[in-house]
Structure 1
Amino acid sequence: MEAGISVLHESLLASGHREPLLVITGPSMSTHVRARMARMPLIRIFRTSSGYKGFCKTSKSTKTAHISDCAHLKIMLFSLDNVKKVVFLEYDTIVMRPLTELVQLPPFSAVREPHVADFETAVMVLVPDPQVYGLLRKDFCNDVNHDRNTSDHRALRKIVPKDAWTEASDTYNVPQQHMDVMWYRSVEKRPAIIHYKGATKPWNWWRLGSGEPISTDAFNRWCKFAATTRFACGAPEWGDAMKPPMKPTSWSSKNKITVILSTFHRPTWVELLRLYVSFKTVSRVVLVWHDPFGDPPSASTLGPKVVVWQPKRDSLNNRFFAPGNLEDCVYIADDDMQVTESQLKQGFRAWKSHTRRLVGFFPRRWTMDSPYYSTRVHDGYNIVLTKGLFTHRYFLYMYVHLLPARIKEVVNEFSNCEDILFNMMVSGYNGLAPMHVLVEGSIVDLGRDGGISSSGSHYATRYKCVHALIHEMGLKKAPLSPGSYSEKPLKNKEKR
């Protein structure tokens, strides 16, 4: 809730509004969170003394345990004293332009839900009224006492007749899913309020496991206002160079791959770059030159397939960034892992059948109990390492632009576990386990005796890093879905 209110507050200020913002909270909100919000300009906190059971003055152990403890808060709006008019905005909205016309609408104004006669109460104009408050409270508490599922939204629909509502322009409540529809991008339909309707929010999408499609347009707008808050997304050094997928629900499988090859000028990058450039399946190779101070090679000397990107800061997070347009399938490679074209094609074939999963050559297992991290995966695995990984470009965009900066900063703090974070993000978002691909022949490791993993403290650092990630992501454990299936190479008879 704090993330939503903080960013809504920033969007109101950016739109020129200077009216007081009254935040109604339930009793479960912690004291330090309330204190942080109270320090924001123009914000006033109104904390209810009890949840919905206290509101209804019942100690009954209701069967409707899934009723939110804040399910009655909209009803409280009608009990406010010394307030002439209220423009109510849910905490999961942002304001894109001044709300002058909305403020001038009469009481009981809201946007009509598409294809139905009811009104959506996430954004509404109302006037406090003791009589309406009493009717709403009576109806809500009657449902609670009879073990019926209910909410303030449901009570409003039942008590306030449809002909009492004034229909507001639908630009005042645009669901985030509609932001990818060109109709909403026209000048006449420029959204005034975006509503992040549904369970998936810009501040929790990585931990729900639903895989519910999100609008990169709507989420980017939220992130723009979040930039000055503790919930900032992305990172300044990346800018906006990565192109967003136009349709995040499209998981097409084309026949080409983009390769992202990361190096800190280890000599083996030259040989591997030439190898990937020679593969017909590869349309483009992005060489990520992790040394921000050393001179990178000129792309013009490496051929038309190659793009060189040198970040301003050395960070393991940079291995997931690539400027410009990418193929749907991106192969992330270390500068010491040598695969053949046949092995790359085999992994690509497996990915095309499982585009919502991470697909890779190197499985690992992470658990919350000792031994925590293991290369022994005969009982299953829940990670595929990023030194040889196939992923949809959409997940790279989510990591770079939508994942909160404070989470990625843990990777910088420990100089470790970016691969586990990427797996946590994808499995946490869609609830799907990664997939291991067994290849014919061996993948040659050209840097077995060097690198981060050769450090004696590597595994202890990974343990601390993952627990820090769990804390920053607001989780109780790592959201890593277990997998046990391995895509095996075709037998000779099957190849014919």
Structure 2
Amino acid sequence: MRGSLPISRRLVYKLRQVGNGTLGSAKIKVLILVCIALTILAISNRNRDGSSSFMGWTGDVDRSSSPRGRYSIVMNTWKRYDLLKKSISHYASCPRLDSVHIVWSEPDPPSDLLKRYLNHVVLLNSRKDQLVELVFDVNKEDSLNNRFKEIKDLKMDAVFSIDDDVIFPCSSVEFAFTVWQSAPDTMVGYVPRMHWVDQKKGNDKYKYGGWWSVWWTGTYSMVLSKAAFFHKKYLKLYTDEMPATIKEYITKNRNCEDIAMSFLVANATSSPPIWVKGKIFEAGSTGISSLGGHGERRTECVNKFVDEFGRMPLLPTNMKAVDSRNSWFW
């Protein structure tokens, strides 16, 4: 038995050598295959990058000059000049901003002093490689419908609709804009809301669900236009196609223009909006949402618009866009 031990040890040693050699050659083969794959990928990328010059193009394509490369801000304001100045000063520094249109519905036109100040702020805070245009869109009538009037000279497709008392970091705005670019026909925003069937009144009656119902269920069917991206074509659609009865109702009640826009887009696309995660800083607290009975009035709006549209176009969803670069768990 003792004489057999060295033989078995030598056998095990030889088997290990053969195994190591086999594994070693396998590793070498895998390494060679990986190198070949990386070489092919590099060549294909080089050919793809060089295809522009091959096809007659020279230089880099300036994506920022395309209608979807940048966006315009449409900002609603009403006699809150300090908030307006703060908001314009902040957003003027956002990288892909093309222009700012201030929706002005006050009885008196904007003063020259205010215009000079805001133009100076835009010039001071704009990036060196861009010139942000500042425009006052002055309206004769005081109506919340004015924030969705068609703007003839908009160069960019994307509209970022925002209130003067809401501020988002530019990084959040840029992320939402990127999400919108992936789905340019839908609304992309930060403030979700929901409609719920009113079981007490029947399947054709609805209740307006505020933030807490969205937080509790994770379900929403609207993103409010106080902070949302949408295509500029919906300004024309709202101006030309929104039923006059709905516009009159909004003007009279000074409420629900954002719900009307959500109805309009959902009716045109048969798709839900996209909720984007972002930090929001509300500088003011004097808006209509701070008044008593706000939820009841919004519920009335939802049911009024369902009657006018002839159906409920809003679609619930649970999807939320999150920037994984800023999230440790994704």
Fold match (TM-score > 0.5): yes
8 Å CA contact 1:437, 1:488 repeated in 2: yes
Larger helix percent: 2
State which of 287, 302, 311 in structure 2 corresponds to 1:451. Answer: 287
Equivalent residue number for residue 350 of structure 1? 179
- In the TM superposition, what whole-angstrom CA distance separates every residue of 1:86-127 from its partner, at most 9, and x where no partner exists? xxxxxxxxxxxxxxxxxxxxxxxxxxxxxxxxxxxxxxxxxx
User: Could you tell me whether the CA contact under 8 Å between 2:145 and 2:250 is conserved in 1?
Assistant: yes
Compare relative contact order (CA 8 Å, sep 6+) and give the higher one, 1 or 2: 2
Q: Please report how far the alpha carbon of residue 301 of structure 1 lies from its aligned counterpart in structure 2 after TM superposition.
A: 4.9
Shift of residue 491, structure 1, vs aligned partner: 2.6
Distance change >3 Å, CA 300–CA 324, structure 1 → 2: farther
User: Which residue does the alignment assign to 1:335?
Assistant: 164
One of 477, 480, 483 as aligned partner of 2:317 = 483
Pick one of 98, 104, 108 that aligns with 1:283.
Answer: 98
Q: For each residue in 1:56-98, what CA deviation from the matched residue of structure 2 results, as whole angstroms up to 9, or x when unmatched?
A: xxxxxxxxxxxxxxxxxxxxxxxxxxxxxxxxxxxxxxxxxxx
- Aligned mate of 1:255, from 54, 64, 69: 69
Whether the 8 Å contact between 1:260 and 1:322 is mirrored in structure 2 is no
Partner in structure 2 of residue 438 of structure 1: 277
* DSSP 3-state at the match of 1:480: coil
Q: 2: CA distance between counterparts of 1:443 and 1:372? A: 22
In 2, the alpha carbon distance for the partners of 1:374 and 1:333 equals: 19
Q: Is structure 2 residue 128 aligned with structure 1 residue 306? A: no
Maintained 8 Å contact 2:189/2:225: yes
Q: Distance in 2 between matches of 1:272 and 1:301?
A: 13
Distance in 2 between residues matched to 1:297 and 1:346, nearest whole Å: 35
Structure 1 residues 471 and 486, CA gap change in structure 2 (3 angstroms):
same
Q: Which amino acid aligns with 1:350?
A: V
Q: Deviations 1:3-25 (Å, cap 9, x if unpaired)?
A: xxxxxxxxxxxxxxxxxxxxxxx
Does the 8 A contact of 1:269 with 1:336 survive in 2?
Answer: yes
CA contact 1:414–1:465 (8 Å) conserved in 2: no
RMSD: 2.0
SS in 1 for 2:303: helix
Contact 2:151 2:235 in 1 (8 A): no
- Which moved further from structure 2: 281-290 or 400-409? 400-409
Distance 2:327 2:195 in 1: 37
Helix, strand or coil for the counterpart of 1:288?
strand
Q: Is the 8 A contact 1:264 1:289 kept in 2?
A: yes
Q: Is the 8 A contact 1:309 1:322 kept in 2?
A: no
Is 1:429–2:268 an aligned residue pair?
yes
Quote the offset at 1:322 in angstroms: 5.2
State percent identity of aligned pairs: 31
2:237 alignment partner, one of 398, 414, 430: 398
Alpha-carbon distance between aligned partners in 2 of 1:385 and 1:485, rounded to the nearest angstrom = 16
Taking a change above 3 Å as real, the CA distance of residues 392 and 295 of structure 1, as seen in their structure-2 partners, is same
Structure 2 match to 1:138 = none
Structure 1 pair 471–413 and aligned structure 2 pair: CA distance change class (3 A) = farther
Matched residue count: 237
Give the secondary structure class of the aligned counterpart of 2:228.
Answer: strand
2:251 paired with 1:412? yes
Distance of aligned partners of 1:253 and 1:354 in 2 relative to their CA distance in 1, 3 Å threshold: farther
Q: Per-residue CA shift, 1:366-389, capped at 9, x if unaligned?
A: 123175323122341000011100
Change (3 A) 1:275 1:463: same
Cα 1:362/1:308, change in 2 over 3 Å: same
What letter matches 2:76 in structure 1? S
Calculate the TM-score normalised by the size of structure 2: 0.67
Equivalents in 1 of 2:88, 2:327: separation in Å? Answer: 33
The equivalent position to 1:374 in structure 2, one of 200, 210, 228, is 210
Q: Report the equivalent of 2:146.
A: 318
| 1:493 shift after superposition | 8.9
2:118 maps to amino acid:
L
Q: Is the 8 A contact 1:259 1:330 kept in 2?
A: yes
CA contact (8 A) 1:265 1:289 kept: no
Secondary structure of 1:364's counterpart equals: strand
In structure 1, list runs of 5 or more residues that go unmatched: 1-251
Q: CA deviation at 1:405?
A: 2.0
Whose Rg is larger?
2
Counterpart of 1:261 in structure 2: which amino acid? M
Residue type at the aligned position of 2:141? R
